[in-house]
Amino acid sequence: MHCASRSMLAVAITLATCWRSARGTLLSYKKMQSLMGRDFFSNFNFYTGADPTHGTVEFIDEATAWNEKLLSSSGSHVLIRSDNTTVLPEGQGRKALRIESKQRYNGGLFVIEMDHVPTGCGSWPAFWMFGDDAQHHWPRWGEFDIWETIHMQNYATTTLHTRKDCDQRAVNEGIDFEGQGWAVGTESNKAKNCFVHADAEYDNQGCGQKLQDGSAGPKFNSQGGGIFVAEWDPVVNKRLRTWFFPKTSKEYNELTVESRDTLDPDVFGMPNSFFTLNEKWCSSGHFHNMRMVFDVTFCGDYAGGTFQSSCPGVQMSCEEYVRTRPNAFSETFWSIRRLDVYQSDEATALWALEHPGPSPVFAILGALAAAALLGVVLYYYCSRQRMVAIGQALTAPVKADGKLQLPLQATRTGAGALVTSPSSRREVFIASEDSSGRAHAARPGEVEPAPPGLSLRRLWLLFCCASDSTLPPNQADGGTRPIGYDEVHPTSPTRTPSRTGEITPLPRQPALRKDGRAASGILVRAPSGALVDQDSGKVVVAAPSR
């Protein structure tokens, strides 16, 4: 392990880890979950789909399992059974359970105590972990079979199943682990390649290591069971290890008699299986977001292909045996006494460093951006309501002289200013007022139409120009504030806009001219392009130079 990292936190963690390594203790784990209890099954989802290993099985839901008395739980004991009473017709599978933890894990120490494991010719039980989701299909996030066996074998196997580039050639029996050695490939070779389609290995064989005799089967059950410990350390020491302690062992007593809120797996000695997650051989990224699984299937890809050699006294196929011999599966059940999950502070901290979540700064910026977007949408909506407030001006009839007849009550604060454009649109403005409350017509350079739609230019004009201030943005005495466009049907006698609505009640009346009449504030674009005041005929904005 290299005592280096990329930050002060990582340096502190790594130095502490190196100091502890020198003392022979690499990681200490704290208990985070104890899943035993009457609510044990609330921690799991019940899988009811087809068996991906093509077994002669029907995975059933929780309600059916309780109804058929295949489940039992108390404060200290959980039973998971398979159907052992029903003779099945051809094509039907035996009812059994596959449960998957609701929580996903990215490392930890997993401790399971059992006093009975499933056994029987044709059976294929396993306690394992795997990761997948809708975007990452198996084996993208890997599979870690902590305990797996078939038929009536008296030993279990620990196996990894992965995508490409996970090789265990650097791992050796007697140096890294002790047990019964490696599983054998198609050419009597040691199956050290974890890729599910590796050369010289059976399809989906993976890399497997056989645990010691008595770790499964009738022998495990007759000796009263035992404890399995599985360590998944993807970031500190980068390895996967398992230990098995039968009920008669000293370690079993230490793990069960004493209260264990913390565990240090290195005191257990050489593991019974060991797999490296060193980047050179098999990076830790091969395993991610994995769930714990208990399941029993029958026959299928593994147990079906080994049925005749493992159960030579049975003179029928595996599938027929499973369907027609229900009493053969009276021992095919789990009896679980303990299931605890421990986590390491060092591993958790380093995992956070190597897989950072969203930065708080980015989270704050994201929230501000969301608020700003909401403000823009609301302001845009409100700008539309401003246009509705002078909707009568948009529907005003055109007089013979080309001027518009504007209902005075339709204007907003000050005098409304309406400019007809060459296209079938009308640019809508609100005239400004000076500090004394007098309305002013537009001056050259102060009329800038707001473009249609939700554009950046429109938003800029809305925020900077269409405020309720009594002065325009350039602090001039007068001017207009553009608030947008609206569609007009040019052939309509009243030029009815495509967007209509009720006229918003106005708190203030339009400014009055010297003769006491209300000024309309209408600006009409002359053929030359100049903007002309409707009431006085005075050119307010000169025609653009050619």
- Position 482 scores a pLDDT of 35
Neighbours of 199 (CB within 10 A): 10
Cβ neighbors of 355 (< 8 A, separation 6 or more) are 106
38-52, 67-81, 245-259, 373-387: least confident range: 373-387
Confidence band (pLDDT; 50, 70, 90) for 511?
very low
Average confidence (pLDDT) over 482-497? 31
**Do the domain assignments include residue 510?**
no
Please, what is the end-to-end C-alpha distance for the chain in angstroms? 78
Are 219 and 205 contacting, i.e. CB atoms less than 8 angstroms apart?
A: no
Cα distance between residue 315 and residue 292, in whole Å = 36
**Do the domain assignments include residue 212?**
yes
| DSSP class per residue in 185-232 | -TTS-B--B-BTT-TTS-TT--EEEE--TTSSHHHHHHTT-EEEEEEE
Cα distance between residue 266 and residue 23, in whole Å = 11
Are 276 and 169 contacting, i.e. CB atoms less than 8 angstroms apart?
A: no
Determine the 3-state secondary structure of 424 from DSSP: coil
**Beta strand pairing status for 57-59 and 94-96?**
parallel
**Do the domain assignments include residue 542?**
no
Cα distance between residue 391 and residue 228, in whole Å = 78
Neighbours of 40 (CB within 10 A): 20
Domain that holds residue 283: 29-354
Token pair belonging to 247: 């009920």
Are 475 and 411 contacting, i.e. CB atoms less than 8 angstroms apart?
A: no
Confidence band (pLDDT; 50, 70, 90) for 503?
very low
Tell me the per-residue pLDDT of 281-291, one tens digit each, with 9 for 90 and over. Answer: 999 999 999 99
Tell me the per-residue pLDDT of 200-219, one tens digit each, with 9 for 90 and over. Answer: 999 999 999 999 999 999 99
Please determine, for residue 295, whether its predicted confidence score (pLDDT) is greater than 80.
yes
Are 85 and 294 contacting, i.e. CB atoms less than 8 angstroms apart?
A: no
- Position 319 scores a pLDDT of 98
**Do the domain assignments include residue 1?**
no
Cα distance between residue 333 and residue 195, in whole Å = 31
DSSP 153: -
- Position 309 scores a pLDDT of 95
**Do the domain assignments include residue 204?**
yes
Determine the 3-state secondary structure of 20 from DSSP: helix
70-84, 100-114, 355-369, 391-405: least confident range: 391-405
Average confidence (pLDDT) over 31-42? 95
Say whether 446 is catalytic: no
- Position 406 scores a pLDDT of 40
**Beta strand pairing status for 71-73 and 78-81?**
antiparallel
Cα distance between residue 191 and residue 182, in whole Å = 6
For the chain, the average pLDDT equals 75
- Position 11 scores a pLDDT of 45
Q: Residue 19 to residues 1, 6, 27, 170, 388: CA-CA distances in angstroms?
A: 12, 19, 11, 26, 74
Closest CA to 80 of 295, 285, 236, 242: 295
- Position 50 scores a pLDDT of 97
CATH number of the CATH domain containing 173? 2.60.120.200
| DSSP class per residue in 347-358 | HHHHHHHHS---
**Do the domain assignments include residue 407?**
no
Please determine, for residue 361, whether its predicted confidence score (pLDDT) is greater than 80.
no
**pLDDT higher for 301 or 387?**
301
- Position 393 scores a pLDDT of 40
Average confidence (pLDDT) over 121-149? 96
Confidence band (pLDDT; 50, 70, 90) for 534?
low
Top mean pLDDT of 133-142, 252-261, 403-412, 425-434 is at: 133-142
Please determine, for residue 432, whether its predicted confidence score (pLDDT) is greater than 90.
no
**pLDDT higher for 179 or 450?**
179
- Position 207 scores a pLDDT of 98
244-248, 358-362, 417-421: least confident range: 417-421
Which is catalytic among the residues 100, 148, 319, 446?
A: 148
Average confidence (pLDDT) over 441-457? 45
Cα distance between residue 367 and residue 338, in whole Å = 44
Cα distance between residue 183 and residue 21, in whole Å = 31
Average confidence (pLDDT) over 118-126? 98
Strands (E), 41-165: 44-46, 57-59, 71-73, 78-81, 94-96, 98-101, 108-116, 123-131, 143-148, 157-161
**pLDDT higher for 17 or 506?**
17
Backbone φ and ψ for 150, nearest 5 degrees, come out as -140, 155
**Do the domain assignments include residue 51?**
yes
Share of the chain above pLDDT 70, in %: 62
Please determine, for residue 484, whether its predicted confidence score (pLDDT) is greater than 90.
no
Average confidence (pLDDT) over 113-135? 96
Cα distance between residue 455 and residue 439, in whole Å = 29
222-236, 366-380, 511-525: least confident range: 511-525
Confidence band (pLDDT; 50, 70, 90) for 478?
very low
Report how far Cα 398 is from the mean position of its chain's Cα atoms. 60
Tell me the per-residue pLDDT of 309-349, one tens digit each, with 9 for 90 and over. Answer: 999 999 999 999 999 999 999 999 999 999 999 999 876 66
DSSP 2: -
Average confidence (pLDDT) over 7-23? 43
Confidence band (pLDDT; 50, 70, 90) for 516?
very low
Which is catalytic among the residues 68, 90, 113, 143?
A: 143
Please determine, for residue 305, whether its predicted confidence score (pLDDT) is greater than 70.
yes
Cα distance between residue 249 and residue 173, in whole Å = 22
**Do the domain assignments include residue 384?**
no
Are 46 and 98 contacting, i.e. CB atoms less than 8 angstroms apart?
A: yes
Say whether 113 is catalytic: no
Closest CA to 29 of 147, 104, 146, 111: 111
Number of domains in the chain: 1
Cβ neighbors of 95 (< 8 A, separation 6 or more) are 57, 58, 60, 64, 68, 70, 82, 83, 86
In one-letter notation, the amino acid at residue 274 is F
